[in-house]
Amino acid sequence: MENVAIVLAAGKGKRMKMDVPKQYIELNGRPLICYSLDIFEKSFIDGIVVVVGKGEVEYFKENILSQNNYSKIIAVVEGGDERYDSVYGGLKAVYDAQYVYIHDGARPCVDEDILLRGKICAQKYGAAIAAVKVKDTIKIVHPDGEVSATPDRNMLWQVQTPQVFKYHLIKDAYDKMICAGNSVNITDDAMVMEEFGSVKVHIFEGNYNNIKVTTSEDIGVVKNILKKYEKKC
Ligand code: CTP
Ligand code: MG
């Protein structure tokens, strides 16, 4: 396959403080995870690997797969304790792909234009991540609250997913990281490429609407964005 998406849905959603993991909460009558799956299903992507929580494969099949006609899902695998464990599980389930699009299932407002920009950037550089320019001034602050520095805002970008890579490059980088047993403070896939990979990571334009549902305040914002997107369709 040329383009395979790895959609992550194995987190516990601790900051959301709800009974169900946030990927399964209903937004405008549809489970959150379905929004990004719908986009990948309708796009140029050839296959989708979904990574779900431990013991949740059956739940996902019964509640998501059986209610939807996803023709591109090639595997549903269990993730691990940390996000990078889940990504590694997804990467191992992708047997052949030229490019992988690693995406947080908690970002339901992704759109096909973002995927296309990612494809072009990854074809050029091998490692490409969605990002938007930081709008606020950012401070480096000591634990006691004292401000120590103000980085130049022109150099600051807020990073999103999808993060798109040549498959063999990101798989090699992850293999090296796991082999080295050195995965402290890894929060995204670009960091794995930066620390253990063989090519430089480049950014492509994301979208300010492509937010990650993290805390309960995000739910209202995302519902409104999704309503606007529905009207455009
Ligand atoms: N994720 C995952 N496996 C993990 C941790 C996270 O697949 N062990 C996924 C989440 O499902 C989410 C994405 O990675 O789609 C981004 O993670 P985050 O927003 O941190 O989600 P959670 O880990 O679920 O939330 P929290 O950190 O609040 O517990
Ligand atoms: Mg998390």
Reported as a single tens digit per residue, the pLDDT across 79-135 is: 999 999 999 999 999 988 999 999 999 999 999 999 999 999 999 999 999 999 999
Whether ligand 1 lies within 6 angstroms of the CB of 12 is answered as yes
Give distance in angstroms: CA of 11 to centre of ligand 1. 4
pTM of this structure: 0.97
Residue nearest to atom 1 of ligand 1 (CA): 11
- b/e map 18-37, b = 16+ CB within 10 Å: eeebbbbbebeeebbbbbbb
**Using the 8-state DSSP alphabet, how is residue 62 labeled?**
I
Best residue for ligand 1 mutational test, from 34, 104, 185, 219 (most atoms within 8 Å of Cβ): 104
Residue 86 CB–ligand 1 contact under 6 Å: yes
SS3 156: coil
- What is the Å distance from ligand 2's center to 231 Cα? 31
* pLDDT tens digits, one per residue of 148-166: 999 999 999 999 999 999 9
